[in-house]
């Protein structure tokens, strides 16, 4: 299970050696930023804004069960403003449907309380 702490999420349970797809979408006029790190190495950074699940990016990583992933959620209200911590995170999963697995983490920046300002999805196929 992911461990939530303020605007960060720690993930330890991804299966070793599996290719994981990371997708990010936004539902906010404010620019959202999500940073994914493993053992202090930045693996990917996504930034964007827009409504109706606007895609901010997609990437893949190979999971390492001996290393935790840290995910940080931030937003900015103006182009040159400092990055602010997203106010609250929630998650669902991981869900397993056949060999397909999905873990979703959402962030709220406080402008509307709908918990979809940033949407982060981890998905992977469990090897047979």
What average pLDDT is seen over the chain? 94
Work out whether the CA dihedral 7, 12, 15, 16 comes out positive or negative: positive
Total domains present in the chain: 1
pTM of the model: 0.94
Domain range enclosing 23: 2-125
Q: Which residues 6+ apart lie within 8 Å of 118 measured at CB?
A: 24, 25, 26, 28, 32, 34, 56, 73, 75, 86, 106, 107, 109
Q: What is the pLDDT of residues 55-110, one digit of tens each?
A: 889 999 999 988 999 999 999 998 888 999 999 999 999 999 999 999 999 999 98
Work out whether the CA dihedral 3, 48, 20, 61 comes out positive or negative: negative
Task: Yes or no: say if 121 and 2 are a contact pair by the CB < 8 Å rule.
Answer: no
């Amino acid at each position: 299970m992911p461990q939530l702490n303020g605007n960060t999420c720690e993930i330890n349970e991804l299966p070793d050696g599996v290719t994981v797809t990371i997708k990010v979408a936004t539902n906010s006029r404010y620019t959202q930023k999500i940073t994914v790190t493993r053992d202090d190495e930045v693996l990917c950074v996504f930034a964007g804004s827009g409504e109706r699940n606007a895609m901010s990016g997609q990437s893949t990583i190979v999971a390492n069960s001996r290393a935790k992933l840290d995910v940080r959620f931030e937003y900015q209200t103006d182009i040159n403003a400092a990055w602010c911590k997203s106010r609250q995170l929630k998650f669902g999963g991981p869900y397993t449907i056949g060999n397909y697995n999905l873990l979703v983490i959402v962030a709220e920046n406080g402008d509307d309380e709908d918990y979809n300002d940033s949407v982060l999805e981890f998905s992977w196929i469990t090897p047979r």
